[in-house]
Structure 1
Amino acid sequence: MKLLFVSNLYPPNVVGGYERLCFEMAEALAARGHDVHVLTSHYGAEKADYPRQTVYRSLKLFADEYNIYRPFTSSPEQRAEWSAQNVAELDRVLSEFRPDRIFVWNLYFFDESLLDAIKASGIIPVYLLTDNWLIAFLNPKFIEDYMRDRVFGGGPQHWSPTLLDRLRIASGRLPFRLPGHAIFASRFMQRLYSEAGFGFNGSDIVYHGVHLDPHAGVARARDRLRQTGQLRLLVAGRVVEIKGVHTAVEALPAIRAALPNLDVRLSIVGDSQDDAYLERLRGLAEGGGCGDAIEFLPPVAATDLSALFDAHDIYLFPSLYEPFSLTLILGLHAGIPTVASDAGGNIEIVADGQTGLLFPRGDAAALGECVRRLVAEPATRAMIADGGAARAGQHEFSNMVTSIDLALERAR
């Protein structure tokens, strides 16, 4: 099958996990005999070519050239010119390559004109919906209200459809009905898109997969904690507000007070280009008297994550909103006892008391109590380390590739 991936970013220029996953999926599908081309932006300073892939780095991203988190401004004329160029480039690639499927990964930092061109191409689109970018394009009011009220406002994230909602979905009378096939990263994302009024010709739920290290184990989680008089806590992921890093920082003073015999340390590892949020975290740390106990570190390569987890005692995953996390799966597989928020798809990975401990998102006191409990209860620590590793084993990358391959084949 001839596949054209379309993504706003592509390695070696990455911000989060989805760009790396896009690359790995393109590699895997090419290895299975598919003819893979990738259309992406020229954003970022690094360039690379990859065997078995044809990569076009020719789209223009509506983003600050030096920091993707900074607000981007342009004149209406410039935006219209860039949009026209992007559509023309898509048309050129489609006409030269003539793919069987357009595999749409993420169009954030483009505008709706590129989506319209994909829909009008006559080629079956398949949308990988790992976040809300498509809702933001077509129903921005919904996602603005959702983020304000239910993510940052603390309201319920998990939707229970009414009878009217069920009838609307069953009848197909959805305000945003798109051609092609949707692949959702979790049941949470499928429900979110349904609530926002989206429908497709077909859909699947395909949980993300990761390359699991066969040498990772859980024995260290049983006995190493507290041996050195230190408690090493870890947050790993993008250092942005939606990841809830501030909840871990806010919890640290109470954790230290509850565990006076331990030297409690918190490592925050990840992309920290969001300068304003980083300053907020530093202010929280100083205000809580914990500035000396927190270390901010740059992101590590995926191949180094196992060593990172092994250097810490408890993994904190405090997201306010999370469709489905690859890093969370890797943490569970590494056998590090994990404390995760109940946001989004987290509850589809972490079963409270079995594969990790859950706490209400944004609740620093509850997060702190989970940490105290893991220190005080070695049996619980060992049980969730075992359970987490077993759960992560269900998310081997090859399983995801097989499911994606089948979904692409049956897309109509």
Structure 2
Amino acid sequence: MDVRGSAVLWLFPMNRQNLAHTVRGSLVRLPPPYDGHYGVVPAAPPEGHVDLSGVLDRLVEASAAIERVGAIAREMHDPYLISRILVRQEAVSSSAIENTNSTLDELLTADDVLDQPDDQNRIASQVRQVRDYALLLDRLVPQAVEQGDAIFSLDLIRRLHAEVMRGDPDYEDVPGELRQIVVWIGGLGQISRSTWNPPPPDRVRACLDQTIDYLRNEGMQSMTQNLVVRMAIAHTHFEAVHPFRDGNGRVGRLLLPLMMAAGGAIPLYVSPFIDANKAAYYEALKRAQQRLEWYAIIGFIADAIVATADELDLTRAALTRLRGEWLGRRRFRRNAASTRALDLLPHYPILTVRRLAAILGVTFTQATQAVEQLVDVGILTERTGYARNRIFVANEVLAIVNRPFGRDPRETR
């Protein structure tokens, strides 16, 4: 089976000449009808020091970025850093890498529509899948903070897969069940041209157990490797094992923020960076998996963390400027529902009156008055044209949070 998606961007087929000597020694013949080919049984993730040639400075920058984000979060008691918007951006980008496409606008709209049983059929299948990804992070990040590295288990991995794949009507296995078939990456349907052959089905469970043991951080890696290094290695090893027929990329990227939360750091969601730099991502994975050049993927993850932290700073600054502009558009009474709504809109730029009333703890009438005031000054816009179940949008917020990764927010105005 050709596991397609963006993995076909890998440039060179998996042949012996491209593999490190140690990797060549781990080749095993695949079962029929693919017994003319070999799969890689990846060695357990390294627990000792790994080669950081040329990436040490980037690794130091990444560690500093994590500390900087943590300091800001401690200052902000309800920080945008952990906003639902960031989680949903992660879900949109991670799913897009696997060609499951939704927009942030669609996903935020679905949050309200799916709360209304009569309207659930209005949500497309792919939007549902992306929403499942986001809601899973909403639930699991707090658990990772509480449980630490002990959260990682086979049950967790299977749950991650089951949740993100349950809405895929084309998935041929039971979501959450380990694969029982041969898979390969790339090759456009031809295993002879594949870029990576994961282990045969009968080796998957043992290899995945090695990933989980490493994730639990109970070995030497807890003393010899920092969080960024462990994130890169764990992600790479999981993708090399490829324990499911499909959906491995999404599960592997889910592990990254969960590792940060379990390690005591504020989670940074790096899938938007990966989506914007897919060719470099796959090249780094290839070098780590085929050549055991761990520094390649470590450097990439370090860059992703630094760029994501910088993007977060730009977003927060832009939203702060926007709030200042809003305050100049009318006289807002302190503690009024409309005033309190201004702080809510960066987190809920698409919402209904009912949702606003529930979050603010006010009556439907009070929420309606607040929305009308915000519509009057152009902060909110009604998009449905309906008399009931109307949806309101803070378009200026969406322009900031939905911009392409790396673009200056001021270019969106």
Decide: shared fold, TM above 0.5. Answer: no
TM-score w.r.t. the length of structure 2 is 0.27
TM-score w.r.t. the length of structure 1 is 0.27
Larger of the two Rg values belongs to structure: 2
More strand as a share of residues? 1
Relative contact order, CA 8 A, sep 6+: which one is greater?
A: 2
More helix as a share of residues? 2
